[in-house]
Amino acid sequence: MTASTSEPAVRAVPDESPGAEAEPARKSLALVASKGGLDEVYPVLIMASTAAALGWDTRVFCTFYGLDIVNPKRNKKLKVSAVGNAASPPPLERGPEFRVPTILGILPGMNWVATKMMKSWMKKSNIPDFSGMMDICLENGVQFYACATTMGVMNVAQSDVMPEASCLGATAFLDFAADADIALFV
Amino acid sequence: MGSELTADKVLDCTGLLCPIPVVKTSAAIKEIDVGQILEMVATDPGAPPDMEAWARQTGHELITQTADGGEYRFWFKRTR
């Protein structure tokens, strides 16, 4: 938060690096990640890694169950919920028009089935698993923040959060988001 | 048309889906010099609009592209 806290609330002047007079201003993406289901976290990581690959200043504010994204004790075990998921496809190879009745989502083991299914689709499509996607984000400079309030409410210590993610309040994140080109809430 | 261009580096992204081709292209363009050409091959049907957008956003030049069956080829010139 070094840049955004000290600057006034006007668009930052683009870096005038030598030899690049027509260099466009660096774009930025502010993402709020409030969900902790695997199917809700993948879109966050895909958007963030893509924006970072474009060279954008990309920052993700992990709040409520989205805090699991930056919690190494929990982020390897993210699940897809079968309950209340009206789009849930069948576990068997059936027509695309077939849907599992949502009431079946309450059966024991259905979350396991839904999670397993999504992981197998991702693998078949050569999309990296959670850890692989997180590595791509970090290597490309995505900045993750752990919501300070959520840490307090859910009793999560800074030592529980991955070292790349720093603790931040909503005010400080909104200060960045106010000047971001795009702000998304997931 | 594209095949007349000589690429300084070829990147194979066949079988990969968003965001991996864009991530790999961003990394590969840094491995060639300014003015050199990167050829990228993809099979993701989203690749043509994605790679046009990538060129617009990063400022690198999309010289030309081809679509042959389900295979898309792009030639980028590193501009900065």
**Minimum-distance CB partner of B22 among A24, A50, A125:** A50
Residue of B nearest to A42 (CA): B19
Q: What digits encode the pLDDT tens for the residues A139-152?
A: 999 999 999 999 99
B4, pLDDT greater than 80: no
CATH of the domain at B14: 3.30.110.40
Find chain A residues with C-beta within 8 A of B16's C-beta. 126
Give the ranges where B1-80 is alpha helix by DSSP (H): 20-29, 47-58
Taking the Cβ of residue A60 and every Cβ of chain B, the question of whether any pair is shorter than 8 Å is answered with no
Number of domains comprising chain B: 1
Strands B37-42 and B71-77: antiparallel
Q: Look up residue A117 and give its amino acid.
A: M
CATH of the domain at A46: 3.40.1260.10
B57 with A50: Cβ contact below 8 A: no
Residue A24 is encoded by which pair of tokens? 């466009």
Residue labelled with tokens 């005010």? A171
Residues 6+ apart with CB under 8 A from B43: B13, B14, B15, B16, B70, B71, B72
Q: What digits encode the pLDDT tens for the residues A21-30?
A: 456 689 999 9
For testing contact with chain A, the best of B11, B14, B17, B20 (most A CBs within 10 A): B20
R_g over Cα of chain B = 11
A113, pLDDT greater than 90: no
Average pLDDT over residues A113-142: 93
Q: What are the Cα distances from residue B16, in Å, to A127, B22, B38, B44, B46?
A: 7, 10, 18, 7, 11
Which range of residues forms the domain containing residue A57? 26-181
Which range of residues forms the domain containing residue B46? 2-77
The pTM assigned to this predicted structure is 0.82
- Contact criterion met (CB below 8 Å) for A52 and A142: yes
Confidence band (pLDDT; 50, 70, 90) for A93?
low
B17 with A55: Cβ contact below 8 A: no
